[in-house]
Structure 1
Amino acid sequence: MTSYLNKMISLVEELHLPLVDEQVIEIKFIIKCLDAKIPLPSAPNMLGIEPDVMDFYKEKLSAIDYQKLELVNQLLNNFRSYISRKYGVWSLANLNTAKEIVDKYNVHSILEIMAGNAYWSAAFSKLGVKAIATDNLEWAKGSCTGDLLFFPVKKLSAVDAIHKYRDVDIIICCWAPNFGSADMDIIEAYNAIQGKKPKLLFLGEKNGATNTARFWKSAKFKKSCELNSINHTISSFDFIDERFFEIK
């Protein structure tokens, strides 16, 4: 048990509030899945406490207990940061969303580029899909989470992976960085594919935590009932509005 979880559990036990008790149970379940290197069955519930709820408890709790609740809320809101540091993942893969993608797009093979520790590839593989995870692994050289793979990763740049595995049914890129040119390099490589193309999905937050400003301004996105259905299975667990985006 880490100091992060120890601190949260200690505070929650002192408060005795069902609202936060339930969220700690949720976090413990997520951690259990991450430790076992298995995807979640479905997207996690929302973590954190809404401002109006905090206002309500400010009137109900003592000053000391309210300070404890503020600390708990801060820890809940930092959960994504915690799992990125401990497990090397920014996005929580879940089987429900992966199955929706497989069903809606009739997916038998998938390529995950810039896969990191390949949590989403693990989810698709669990469903029987032929998954290929690739990453240049440069980030792993200086990260203590670089060897915490959820699924085997081939050392390959995103562009090279697109050229090599262009015959897959779908390509996904989860949480591309909001700096550099990697996301636009992917678009360029994808557009260069001749003949039938796989679908290309990015998972991230529009004009927010992921991808570059140029990407959000220049990339051409496709809207569809299938994509809407997929995104209905994703409920963001924090203030980041995580969604799938399909490239035309």
Structure 2
Amino acid sequence: MEKIKMTSYLNKIISLVEELHLPIVDEQVIEIKFIIKCLDAKIPLPSAPNMLGIEPDVMDFYKEKLSAIDYQKLELVNQLLNNFRSYISRKYGVWSLANLNTAKEIVDKYNVHSILEIMAGNAYWSAAFSKLGVKAIATDNLEWAKGSCTGDLLFFPVKKLSAVDAIHKYRDVDIIIGCWAPNFGSADMDIIEAYNAIQGKKPKLLFLGEKNGATNTARFWKSAKFKKSCELNSINHTISSFDFIDERFFEIK
């Protein structure tokens, strides 16, 4: 893939799309512009974003219709669309796009009045829950922020606490959410151990990520016990992944 600097990503894709004049990519640029507008304003999206990128069979169709030069442009546009998550992670420090529709579904289905977000990063999901009137507490050890240019781009105030310490301190919340736990180390399993140690009534514990994919460790997906429910299905129906990563909420038993 041609290397595109982060600062020129949007200009590059807009320029290519304007040259192509194809509705299928025109609509996706409109979607990207709206997402970036929300991120710049530090507000959650109203609902999950639409799918970005072009399906292989559609690419095959355009290969027969376009000139060789225009098809190369379309291939580059598709590569840029498929790398949108990487772009927002480097520019805004977020991997998951928080949206009010999903947050409201969680609040309604689980009767949530207070929430703890652990490993919150820039706390985009906490911002969404707070927008709905939920008492949100965002925590992170903030080690990653020391070497990141996005470390000070918070969407919501973050308390400096490890996930385990946060669970011990704020165990009285209605729900705990971990979004995009790393797929290395032992943080996700340490969280489950701390959660299982809670005596008496426990908050619900949800992880947002991709099963056996971009988030959490292989040990987590192999040994964690997951709960299935109509409520969780309803919540996940509000999430439509905008790329090849199958992002879902998982509830720990």
TM-score by length of 2: 0.98
SS at match of 1:124: helix
Distance of 1:7 and 1:147 partners within structure 2: 26
How far off its partner does 1:186 sit?
A: 0.1
SS at match of 1:159: helix
Cα deviation code 1:1-59 (max 9, x no counterpart): 93000000000000000000000000000000000000000000000000000000000
Alignment counterpart, residue 202 of structure 2, candidates 192, 197, 201: 197
Distance of 1:227 and 1:32 partners within structure 2: 30
How far off its partner does 1:144 sit?
A: 0.2
Equivalent runs, 1:29-178 vs 2, <5 Å: 29-178=34-183
Distance of 2:108 and 2:7 partners within structure 1: 38
How far off its partner does 1:169 sit?
A: 0.0
Q: Please name the residue that 1:208 is paired with.
A: 213
Cα deviation code 1:78-99 (max 9, x no counterpart): 0000000000000000000000
SS at match of 1:125: helix
How far off its partner does 1:136 sit?
A: 0.3
Distance of 1:103 and 1:49 partners within structure 2: 34
Distance of 2:7 and 2:66 partners within structure 1: 28
SS at match of 1:154: strand
For structure 1, which runs of at least 5 residues remain unmatched after alignment?
Answer: none
SS at match of 1:148: coil
SS at match of 1:19: helix
Runs of 4+ with >4 A deviation? none
SS at match of 2:189: helix
For structure 2, which runs of at least 5 residues remain unmatched after alignment?
Answer: 1-5
Cα deviation code 1:174-225 (max 9, x no counterpart): 0000000000000000000000000000000000000000000000000000
Cα deviation code 1:88-113 (max 9, x no counterpart): 00000000000000000000000000
Distance of 1:28 and 1:222 partners within structure 2: 37
How far off its partner does 1:149 sit?
A: 0.1
Distance of 1:133 and 1:5 partners within structure 2: 30
Alignment counterpart, residue 246 of structure 1, candidates 231, 234, 251: 251
Distance of 2:47 and 2:7 partners within structure 1: 24
Name the Cα RMSD after superposition.
0.7
Distance of 1:211 and 1:242 partners within structure 2: 12
Distance of 1:2 and 1:204 partners within structure 2: 27
TM-score by length of 1: 1.00
SS at match of 1:75: helix
Distance of 1:188 and 1:151 partners within structure 2: 27
How far off its partner does 1:173 sit?
A: 0.1
Distance of 2:10 and 2:117 partners within structure 1: 31
Distance of 1:219 and 1:5 partners within structure 2: 39
SS at match of 1:2: helix
Distance of 1:240 and 1:69 partners within structure 2: 21
